[in-house]
């Protein structure tokens, strides 16, 4: 695409956009009586207009049916989650049985590590991305300690090379090979929260398997953002949250993937609860645990129906949009346009005043661009906010902007970049 740095061009792109109608399905925060330019879907996606009604419908069922709501009404609670699985499986590139919805992300990472991190004195190491989202660091370190290992000797973080911002796949693969005999688990991000780098999940998984380790992924920033083929890539397990690119509300329910090759693996231990019991016999309340076949066997507790309704409201929109493929095509154009406009600013200044550290290759990133401000970083961010552009801030000098194909427009990207350029005059 030959982009142009003018409003008419941005407007034309919006007119041609087959997904343009979807922005009306979201509620946008206001700034001085106008919609903000919301580029923060990487942290918290916007509220679907329908979300409130979906919850109200279940409040009505609760009021009118009481306990019978589990079995009666339009959407009996007992099987409510099943209506979401198809769309989620498509987003994850998985078979339906490989997916379930439960708990929150960090909780699920712990539960999956119960199954897939079983260190022995020979094989105990975990490889992860350096500077991962803090919750992952805490979770993995505490798992190591729980098993009696010192996190310092157990967890290997991979950092970019000196002077570089993103990880090279070759360095990840080499670290896996270098630790071949001692490696128990590679537990990586899908898309890095700080840089927006989309890792080569297939290659990482293959390397882990070659040395006899499991490969799991935290897909918080990947789910609903980039195309995933978890089944085909042979990933062992994954988990994600639903409140970032999946727009399912703050603290929304999490999803997990377990590859079908593990369904009959008796050597995998797991924590058990009645919601993971065979559904056809769950209410017989027998003594011995018989798991549901598939990822559903990892469930512990009664599904939180109100959270599921929010998730369904959001996933129904993904389905109406035709799944992630068309969204991804728009996303590449939209993020590419933001990148182009930022590079235009740099050209005008003859300097990298806004250095983009996210990979240039569209196959190695999703919606997000991470921008290092050469000077006055915090002031620049505050200026954007004061003009109604909502991104997010990471110490010490990074602004993350994520145009989201479901609800952002090319015109908004144009305006955001123009305001970014204006900030140079102000600061
Ligand atoms: C957002 C995010 C989390 C958040 O976990 P919660 O348990 O939902 O609070 C964890 N890990 C990563 C990589 C994230 O981006």
123 Cα to the center of ligand 1, angstroms: 27
- Does residue 30 sit in the same domain as residue 61? no
Q: Is the CB of 136 under 6 A from ligand 1?
A: yes
The boundaries of the domain holding residue 270 are 55-320
Q: Tell me if residue 65 falls in helix, strand or coil.
A: helix
Q: What is the pTM of this model?
A: 0.97
268-288 confidence digits (pLDDT tens): 999 999 999 988 887 777 778
User: Torsion angle of alpha carbons 286, 289, 292, 294, nearest 10°?
Assistant: 180
CB count within 10 Å of CB 340 equals: 16
Q: Is the CB of 220 under 6 A from ligand 1?
A: yes
Angle at 87 between CA 190 and CA 236, to 5 degrees: 40
- Among the atoms of ligand 1, which is closest to the Cα of residue 106? 7
CA distances from 76 to 52, 71, 299, 337, 378 (A): 18, 5, 18, 45, 49
Place of tokens 């700080």: 194
Domain boundary among 301, 320, 339: 320
Using CB atoms within 10 Å of the CB of residue 159, give its burial: 0 to 12 exposed, 13 to 18 middle, 19+ buried. Answer: exposed
131 confidence band (pLDDT: 50, 70, 90): confident
85-110 confidence digits (pLDDT tens): 999 999 999 999 999 999 999 999 99
45 within domain boundaries: no
Domain boundary among 267, 288, 320: 320
pLDDT of residue 321: 97
Residue 427 pLDDT greater than 80, yes or no: no
Number of domains in the chain: 2
- Does residue 283 sit in the same domain as residue 357? no
CA distances from 14 to 19, 215, 327 (A): 9, 40, 14
375-419 confidence digits (pLDDT tens): 999 999 999 999 999 999 999 999 999 999 999 999 999 999 999
Q: Which of 41, 105, 136 to mutate to test the pocket of ligand 1 (most atoms within 8 A of CB)?
A: 105
- Does residue 185 sit in the same domain as residue 218? yes
79 within domain boundaries: yes
Q: Is the CB of 106 under 6 A from ligand 1?
A: yes
109 Cα to the center of ligand 1, angstroms: 10
Write the CATH number for 24: 3.90.1150.10
- Does residue 136 sit in the same domain as residue 253? yes
315-372 confidence digits (pLDDT tens): 999 999 999 999 999 999 999 999 999 999 999 988 899 999 999 999 999 999 999 9
Q: What is the largest CA-CA distance in the chain?
A: 73
- Does residue 280 sit in the same domain as residue 340? no
- Among the atoms of ligand 1, which is closest to the Cα of residue 105? 7
Q: What is the mean pLDDT of residues 170-192?
A: 98
Q: What is the mean pLDDT of the chain?
A: 96
- Does residue 341 sit in the same domain as residue 241? no
- Does residue 144 sit in the same domain as residue 17? no
């Amino acid at each position: 695409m030959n982009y142009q740095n003018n409003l008419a061009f941005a407007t034309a792109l919006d007119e041609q956009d087959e997904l343009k109608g979807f922005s009306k399905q979201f509620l946008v925060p206001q700034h001085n009586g106008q919609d903000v330019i919301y580029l923060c879907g990487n942290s918290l996606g916007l509220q679907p207009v329908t979300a409130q009604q979906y919850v109200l419908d279940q409040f009505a069922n609760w009021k009118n049916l009481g306990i019978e709501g589990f079995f009666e009404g339009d959407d009996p609670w007992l099987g409510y989650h099943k209506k979401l699985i198809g769309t989620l499986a498509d987003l994850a590139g998985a078979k339906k049985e490989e997916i379930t919805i439960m708990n929150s992300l960090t909780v699920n990472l712990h539960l999956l590590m119960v199954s897939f991190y079983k260190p022995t004195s020979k094989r105990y190491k975990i490889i992860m991305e350096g500077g991962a989202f803090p919750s992952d660091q805490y979770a993995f370190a505490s798992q190591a300690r729980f098993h009696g290992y010192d996190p310092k000797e157990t967890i290997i973080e991979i950092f970019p090379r000196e002077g570089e911002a993103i990880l090279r796949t070759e360095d990840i693969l080499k670290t896996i090979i270098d630790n071949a005999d001692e490696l128990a688990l590679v537990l990586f991000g899908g898309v890095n929260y700080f840089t927006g780098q989309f890792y080569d999940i297939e290659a990482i998984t293959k390397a882990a398997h070659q040395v006899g380790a499991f490969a799991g992924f935290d897909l918080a920033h990947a789910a609903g953002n980039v195309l995933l083929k978890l089944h085909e890539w042979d990933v062992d397990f994954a988990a994600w949250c639903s409140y970032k690119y999946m727009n399912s509300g703050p603290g929304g329910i999490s999803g997990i993937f377990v590859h079908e090759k593990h369904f009959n693996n008796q050597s995998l231990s797991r924590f058990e609860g009645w919601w993971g019991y065979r559904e056809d016999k769950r209410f017989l309340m027998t003594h011995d645990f018989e798991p549901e076949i598939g990822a559903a066997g990892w469930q512990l507790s009664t599904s939180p129906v109100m959270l599921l309704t929010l998730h369904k409201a959001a996933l129904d929109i993904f389905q109406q949009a035709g799944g992630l493929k068309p969204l991804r095509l728009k996303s590449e154009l939209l993020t590419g346009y933001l990148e182009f406009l930022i590079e235009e600013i740099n050209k005008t200044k003859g300097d990298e005043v806004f250095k983009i550290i996210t990979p240039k290759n569209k196959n190695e990133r999703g919606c997000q661009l991470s921008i290092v401000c050469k000077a006055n970083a915090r002031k620049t961010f505050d200026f954007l906010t004061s003009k109604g552009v909502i991104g997010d801030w990471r110490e010490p000098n990074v602004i993350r902007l994520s145009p989201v194909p479901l609800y952002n427009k090319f015109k908004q990207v144009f305006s955001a970049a123009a305001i970014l350029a204006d900030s140079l005059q102000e600061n």
